[in-house]
Structure 1
Amino acid sequence: MTSARDPEGPTAPRPADAPPGGPAAAGDPPRWSRYVAVGDSFTEGLWDAPDGEDAPLRGWADQLASHLSARRTAAGLPALEYANLAVRGRLMRPILTEQVPAARAMAPDLVSLVGGGNDILRPSVDVDRVAADLERAVARLRADGADVLLSTGFDARESPLVRTTRSRTGVFSAHVWSIARRHGAFVLDLWGMRSLLDWRMWAEDRIHLTTDGHARVAQAALVALGLPPDRPDWDDPLAPLPPVPRLERVRADAHWLREHAYPWATRRLRRRSSGDARVAKRPDPLPVD
């Protein structure tokens, strides 16, 4: 995971586009004081419910905010202020037209803008248009003076179903790197995370991450921001498991089709979303405890 900034490279952003300051030295507290996360179910934290299904969701962005805030308070600085406006099921256009303006109104100095996965699942998606819309939003946030954390898509080559979107995800991820280079943004490189190729990192629906998956992504986000991770094994692959018996695989696939694929397809046909009528879980920038 890395930043798209390279002050020594021949294609480095123009000074006017570069984020304020450079990568933090080891031990330096994070410079950001207000962080706003926008996006879809990935940033909302779907399936990361360590305190039970009835407890609030957490997710990688919440964990990133906790890491940043802890490092600030350890250095004697005020706690990080954090808001999370992400809502499951959102396409890129609503993220950019609804969540980004609300985020800009909060005057953050760090924004994570991660979306596009729900668009890419649709075969009719125009990936170039989605990327062009994303770039306009990044330009506005950068003009406000905020640092921006973008993200590539996941490499779904190990997924029997979602890997059909792999070529579209690859094109979108290439756009993300180019946008970051032009505007001096940071990039969370999910595509390159080896640990996420293991299906033990994925929840029952085979689209969202488990608690351990979200924790590893939070560590990758620290690295993307130029900060040292808290756990050195954040991207180490897991030890391989023995092969799963065929009957067990068939039963697991049948359960997935009944409990997850069919309801998702039904919502699509009805032009509904799992996030309809839902609101942001943390709509105001409050200090992180």
Structure 2
Amino acid sequence: MTDTADTAEPSAAPRWTRYVACGDSFSEGLWDAPDGQDAPLRGWADQLASHLSRRRTAAGREPLEYANLAVRGRLMRPILTEQVPAALELGPDLVSIIGGGNDILRPSVDVERVAADLERVVAHVRSQGVDVLMGTGFDTHDSPLVRATRPRVGIFTAHVWSIARRHGAYVLDMWGMRSLHDWRMWADDRIHLTTPGHTRVAQAALVALGLPPDRADWDDPLAPLPPVPRLERARADARWLREHAYPWATRRLRGRSSGDLLAAKRPQPTPVD
């Protein structure tokens, strides 16, 4: 949270009445399917909307209205040029703009350009009187297969904090989340969160917005697991390369995305139960 952002009292109802999420698979909620893989995805943004709405109704206010325009596979530029303008047309007072992960996975990415594009759009949204929630990258220090992206993620994260300070935006600090260093928070593809991971990020989003979390242990590390034998780790790495890394690289070579044929899961603001 920046110095210009308001901090709400624990007993106060969240002031936001309409929230729109913009982004990629992270905000779409990939791998958070508590009702089964054939049921609609949920994700941290949906959980955040539920927390905000419940607190509003508990204080006698109307439920929060919520839309989610995020689509998996989206690069930062389409998020900024397509999703954010559509979000502003919905009349929100809170917008989350979280992306860049798909850009950073590409070695040729120009992180400075991605950050500059983000800042222009954040400045525009803030000029409309709309609050903005951005997100840092994840710290990939503990991931031997994705660690090569860490310098790029770190630079982008520094830009996010600077942009927030200049324009009075909120920041969801995933880089600093200790609980996300546990691999039980991560799905089999190693780049998306499981349901427990999304749940903890939703709590971190409350904190980022200056609100008290619902659970005190939201960022506490889990009890450590016993070490995994080297052969088992090697087999898991080989399975990851075969089932996740290779299909991703193939789509990239063909100029395709996992979200090419998908639309936003919640394109219109509706009250959150």
Task: Please report the TM-score for the alignment, with normalisation by the length of structure 1.
Answer: 0.93
Q: Is it true that 1:121 corresponds to 2:105 in the alignment?
A: yes
Following the alignment from structure 1 to structure 2, what is the Cα–Cα distance between the partners of residues 258 and 181? 42
1:33 matched residue in structure 2: 17
Following the alignment from structure 2 to structure 1, what is the Cα–Cα distance between the partners of residues 157 and 235? 34
1:107 matched residue in structure 2: 91
**Deviation at residue 252 of structure 1 after TM alignment:** 1.2
Q: Is it true that 1:220 corresponds to 2:218 in the alignment?
A: no
SS at match of 1:187: strand
**Deviation at residue 211 of structure 1 after TM alignment:** 0.2
1:50 matched residue in structure 2: 34
Following the alignment from structure 1 to structure 2, what is the Cα–Cα distance between the partners of residues 178 and 76? 37
Between the aligned residues of both structures, percent identity stands at 79
Following the alignment from structure 1 to structure 2, what is the Cα–Cα distance between the partners of residues 70 and 138? 28
SS at match of 1:191: coil
Following the alignment from structure 1 to structure 2, what is the Cα–Cα distance between the partners of residues 247 and 122? 29
Regions of 4+ moved over 2 Å? none
Following the alignment from structure 1 to structure 2, what is the Cα–Cα distance between the partners of residues 89 and 235? 27
**Deviation at residue 247 of structure 1 after TM alignment:** 2.2
1:83 matched residue in structure 2: 67
CA shift digits 1:37-77 (9 cap, x unpaired): 00000000000000000000000000000000000000110
Following the alignment from structure 1 to structure 2, what is the Cα–Cα distance between the partners of residues 180 and 249? 39
**Deviation at residue 194 of structure 1 after TM alignment:** 0.5
Picking from 183, 187, 201, the partner of 1:203 is 187
Picking from 255, 266, 270, the partner of 1:271 is 255
SS at match of 2:97: strand
2:219 matched residue in structure 1: 235
Following the alignment from structure 1 to structure 2, what is the Cα–Cα distance between the partners of residues 127 and 107? 30
CA shift digits 1:137-156 (9 cap, x unpaired): 10111011111001110000
2:2 matched residue in structure 1: 4
For structure 2, the residue ranges without an aligned partner over 5 or more in a row are: none
SS at match of 2:21: strand
Following the alignment from structure 2 to structure 1, what is the Cα–Cα distance between the partners of residues 227 and 145? 20
2:23 is aligned with what amino acid?
G
Q: Is it true that 1:170 corresponds to 2:154 in the alignment?
A: yes
1:4 is aligned with what amino acid?
T
Task: Please report the TM-score for the alignment, with normalisation by the length of structure 2.
Answer: 0.99
Following the alignment from structure 1 to structure 2, what is the Cα–Cα distance between the partners of residues 264 and 131? 24
SS at match of 1:37: strand
RMSD: 0.8
1:124 is aligned with what amino acid?
S
2:121 matched residue in structure 1: 137
2:37 is aligned with what amino acid?
E
